Amino acid sequence: MKNDMGKYISKILITEEQIRSKVKELGELITRDYQDKDLLVVCILKGAMIFMADLVREIKIPLDIDTMVVSSYGSSTTSSGVVRILKDLDESIENRDVLIVEDIIDTGLTLKYLMDNIFSRGPRSVKICSFLDKPERRKVNIVPDYLGYSIPDEFVVGYGLDYAEKYRNLPFIAVLDPKAYEK
């Protein structure tokens, strides 16, 4: 890969300004919905880390943060369907109000596995906040409670999303030219 990250960007799908506006809106909704609740925000690493960092700054109530690393992609552009928990929660979630923060929902297989796992631990409630959603690709019935944007079935990078660990630091969501990964 060359040092010029823009070389394989075919178009910008969601601008930096649109991202800021949507994150603020989501933060306001979550603040309203979780008043007087014991909120634990669970960031699904690595993809959701930038979104989660921005989001929690827009949530104006006390909260705790924890992280999980869940993998079903590896270095591929499609989910393998095999889900592995590489890093589990540090906190107990029993009787907690859990908000899972995800970067993108694609087939829904990873998130379905994760939801089943989280529910088995006895939380008071579990909701999903996803920045992006590709409903065309869905294989299981998963609908986020809070959603940034629904997008077409294109491979996207930026704002935490990567291809082979690259492009996460782009401040926007962009469609990656297939030349970047069809080698």
CATH code, domain carrying 79: 3.40.50.2020
How far apart, in whole angstroms, are the C-alpha atoms of residue 152 and residue 5?
22
How far apart, in whole angstroms, are the C-alpha atoms of residue 102 and residue 159?
12
Question: Active-site residue among 106, 153, 162, 177?
Answer: 106
64's enclosing H/E stretch is strand 64-71
Of 49 and 79, more confident: 49
The whole-number pLDDT of residue 18 equals: 98
pLDDT tier at 77 (50, 70, 90 boundaries)?
A: low
The pTM (predicted TM-score) of the whole model is: 0.91
- Give the chain's domain count: 1
Active site residue 106: yes
Where in the sequence is the domain holding 173, given as residue range(s)? 5-180
With 70 as the cut, is the pLDDT of residue 78 above it?
no
